[in-house]
Amino acid sequence: MPKESDRFKDGGDKEDVSEETERKRARANTLSPHRGNTPQASPPRFVSVEELMETAKGVTNMALAHEIMVNQDLQVKPTEFPEGSLERRVKEIMHKAFWDCLETQLKEDPPSYEHAIKLLGEIKETLLSFLLPGHGRLRSRIEEVLDLPLIQQQAENGALDISQLSQFVVEMMGSLCAPCRDKDIKKLKQITEIVPLLKAIFSVLYLMKVDMANFALNSIKPHLMQQSVEYERNKFQEFLEKHPNPLDYTEKWLEETVKSLRETDGCAAASSDPPSLLPLNVHNHAYFRLLRWDHASNPFPETVLMDQVRFLEMQQEAERLVLLSSVLLIVYTTTGEAISGLPGLMETLKNTVGVMLAEMHIPSFSMQEALATIGEKLCVELSHCLSQHGFSSFSAERETILKGQISAIIQPDNTVRKLMDSRIQSYLLAALESSQHKTPPSLPGGLAPVSRELKELSVRFSRLVNYNKLVFSPFYQKILQNLLTPGESPSTEI
């Protein structure tokens, strides 16, 4: 049987943070200069398998370090194979064969303790791995009770009490485990059969390893920031040195941002230092454009490729908030003062609409049907609320008007939808600009019902952008030096 403890040896982070998953993501999103039909300025060169493996390893490690820093909810999770999968069946068969063999050995006359002693050795190693430098007394106690040479002698002389040793292990686990494992320890104390107890002990020890890994991960995160920035930057620099034209899409991304800002200001390329073309402003607008990105047809910039999924999720959340705030604004505008100030009504309407729009980005989702259903549900809730507070109920004409206005926001050029979209985008851009000064922007009108979600989104967006700036600012500066005119040359502040 494979050792449970082996899963956390020799680079346990492979399982802890799903390195295999990160490797697959890295392979899928490899920062390749050969995506699309980009012409190459340098002739192709042959590379060895060793070079390819080294590059893949570097990208994987960079993605892993990046995930630790930017994913605030990153947690180690126990490995679980899908139900009915070949891996799960093989694991179950192997484990059953092992535990059946152990049970057979213990039932022999006299009992054979060969496998049981090996298990006790693994348990001892695991318990010792949980100890901190200051746990001297616990270490001595474990070494004393789980003294393998002494246990071997007891087994040879027929004096070994496996049950007593198992109870000691359970008590020691109870003193070392996290509070969330107290129920598991309590269940262990209720098991009387030795083989089921040993089996359950290993299961709980594995969960305790996961808890310890999460604790270590959260403890070191604050100390990893500077090291992680330098590590990612150096790894990316190594990647650049091995590939020709590796920043094609990053250059295109910044170039289109500069072009858009010049057109907005009505400035020609030779104009001198318009305020919008300050490097900091160019960068903020460039990142902001990632929330409007056409992921289906436009390749993502290389420097933000590892966060493409995160930017897509934030883009979808912003689109959902646009529709949610649009519906609520229409309701309060159409209904008038009758419902303003009614306690709990806004939250009720918001939850109703939010549930209906929760899956709006799934391919099978029908926006037209969802908006029609939202109109029906809101009319029922509003009529009930109005009659409950002594107001006249909704007339058929008002219901028709409300349903029509809600259904109309399916059009991208709908007036209310465009207004709320503009306000949300302005808020997110202002939040990004104000993050440099730690002063949050004021909330535009009509967004009070979604203020909590919008603020959370702006914080996630700003954190991701600011970390990306820390890592890749030297690369952006070099690109902007070629894009901006002398009067617009980039400063050190990005």
Q: For residue 395, what pLDDT is reported?
A: 78
CA 245, chain centre distance (Å)? 30
3 state DSSP class of 8: helix
User: In the predicted model, what is the mean pLDDT of the chain?
Assistant: 80
Query: What pLDDT shows up at residue 47?
Result: 41
The answer on pLDDT for 300 being more than 60 is yes
> Alpha-carbon torsion 297, 303, 304, 307, what sign?
positive
**What local confidence, expressed as pLDDT, does residue 108 receive?**
86
Q: Taking the chain, what is the end-to-end CA distance rounded to the nearest angstrom? A: 55
- pLDDT band at residue 20, thresholds of 50, 70 and 90? very low
Of residues 445, 328, 452, 420, the one with CA closest to residue 382: 328
pLDDT at 44 over 50: no
What region, left, alpha or beta, does residue 11 occupy, with left being phi > 0 and alpha being psi -120 to 50 degrees? left
382's CB contacts (< 8 A; 6+ apart) are: 331, 335, 339, 349, 394, 402
Match 């806004």 to its residue by tokens.
346
> How far apart (Å, rounded) are the C-alpha atoms in residues 145 and 132?
19
Q: How far apart are CA 201 and CA 127, in angstroms?
A: 11
Report which of 113, 206, 101 is spatially closest to residue 165, judged by C-alpha positions: 113
Least confident among 17-31, 165-179, 183-197, 329-343: 17-31
- Burial of residue 492 (CB within 10 Å: 0-12, 13-18, 19+) is exposed
Residue owning tokens 């050969």: 34
Q: pLDDT tens-digit profile of 57-70?
A: 545 566 666 777 67
Question: What pTM does this model have?
Answer: 0.67
Say how far apart CA 262 and CA 275 lie, in whole Å: 10
- Asked if residue 423 has pLDDT above 90, the reply is yes
Instruction: Label residue 346 by pLDDT band (50, 70, 90).
Output: confident
